[in-house]
Amino acid sequence: MRSPEWYRLRAVVEQVLERPAREREALLDSACGSDLALRGEAESILAAHDAAGGFLEAVWPEDCVDDLRPGDRVGDVRLERCMSQGGTATVWRVRSLGSPAAAAGSTLAVKIARPDLPAADLRRRFAEEERILSGLCREGVVGLRGAGRYRGRPYLVLDWVEGEPLDDYCDAGCLGVEERLRLMRAVAEIVGDLHRARVVHRDLKPGNVLVRPDGRPILVDFGLARRLDERDGTVIGRPTEPLARLITPGYAPPEQIWGGPVTPAVDVFGLGAVIYRLLLGETPPGPWGYGSKGLEELTGNAVVGSRSSARPSRAAVDVSADVCARLGLSPRALARRLRGDLDRILTRALDPLPGRRHPTAAALAADLDRHLAGLPSAARRGALASLAAGALAALLMVLDLVAGDRPR
């Protein structure tokens, strides 16, 4: 069992690596505060990440145990370059040696399990990811080309996606609010297709959405995805809870941290958090998100499950100059742009209680569609309906009181 300090360190580093390098110092100041030991360890790991050429998502002394090297053969592919090392697997860019699934010389990706984790759990996890991807042969989802074992370690052969992480793509192109919302509408539609196929992704974040040069988003990394039973909506298969802590703080809803039911509302929260990140430059604060806190701190968070009164438009006044420059708006203009429907859409998507969110990603996509078309969102109609119901109840109460005071 690793210590709470280890989880906090990992959360800090992963949060920093999710953001542009120019924001690193400010993020470390905010996340570490006066804890100089934590900051020193975080800076050491970040320096190792930079020295490695920027291709590792995180560098952990006890995690860097993979003995694979460029040139090694894994099944029908040859390893070329390690692209990322995560909590359960390493992803390599590879070259096909020729197979029924891919012509010789074509570029693919291989996701291979780390050798230091429980083999039985990883086999179940990879087998579940293989089953899910084999049933999702559709536009917007990374394609599966094959699977196998290498020295007892499961691996998946996937399409190589030539693209940038969602946030990098938006920031590099200085996309405005409308352009970012249209892109997120397309992402929500892809996730909506997953929900119709009874699949919940459970790990939506900018790094798991790659955007091709032509602007098409592709959803990747289904390592935490789960299938739902069509009859009762419960999870199919044996749970793999020992690795459930691999969620990304800031994008995971409260029920995912507490081990609650897996429903499409998990992905709705993740989509809301990604939209918030694209528009405000950071993950949702307070009861919505969890910043750099470790999981031990999160499970003791008294505000999880409560409704937050804060709105994105209020947070816009504190947005950094870099974020505003990329959006082409001043903080005041951004606050005005968010005020109203976008506030309501994001507040609903990020509600700590799953039953108060959009029921599916398709419903969130439809809300974004209506907003972009200048029509009232379902979130606004719901708020107006609640106000109308409240006003009607108050009127009936007054009428009842008046009737009760009349002489008989």
- Average pLDDT across each block of 10 residues of the chain; the chain has 408 residues. List them in order: 58 74 80 84 77 47 62 93 80 91 92 79 88 90 94 93 94 95 97 95 94 96 90 70 59 83 94 96 67 47 46 88 91 93 95 93 96 81 45 43 48
Please identify which residue in the block is written with the tokens 């999880």: 304
pLDDT at 51: 61
Chain centroid to Cα 15, Å, comes to: 12
> How far apart are alpha carbons 262 and 255 in whole angstroms?
8
Q: Which pLDDT value is given to residue 380?
A: 57
pTM of the model: 0.75
pLDDT of residue 18: 67
CATH 1.10.510.10 fits 164-375, yes or no: yes
Class (C level, CATH) for 73-159: alpha beta
pLDDT at 388: 45
Of 95, 141, 87, residue with least CA distance to 117: 87
Q: Are 267 and 194 in contact (CB under 8 A)?
A: yes
Q: Residue 34, exposed/middle/buried by CB under 10 A (0-12, 13-18, 19+)?
A: exposed
Please report the sign of the dihedral spanned by the C-alpha atoms of residue 50, residue 51, residue 57, residue 60: negative
Amino acid occupying residue 186? A
Structural domain boundaries in the chain: 4-51, 73-159, 164-375
3-state per-residue secondary structure call for the chain: CCCHHHHHHHHHHHHHHCCCHHHHHHHHHHHHCCCHHHHHHHHHHHHHHHHCCCCCCCCCCCCCCCCCCCCCEECCEEEEEEEEECCCEEEEEEEECCECCECCCCEEEEEEECCCCCHHHHHHHHHHHHHHHHCCCCCCECCEEEEEEECCEEEEEEECCCCEEHHHHHHHCCCCHHHHHHHHHHHHHHHHHHHHCCEECCCCCHHHEEECCCCCEEECCCCCCEEECCCCCCECCCCCHHHHHHCCCCCCCHHHHHCCCCCHHHHHHHHHHHHHHHHHCCCCCCCCCCCCCCHHHHHCCCCCCCCCCCCHHHHHHHCCHHHHHHHCCCHHHHHHHHCCHHHHHHHHHCCCCHHHCCCCHHHHHHHHHHHHCCCCCHHHHHHHHHHHHHHHHHHHHHHHHHHHHCCC
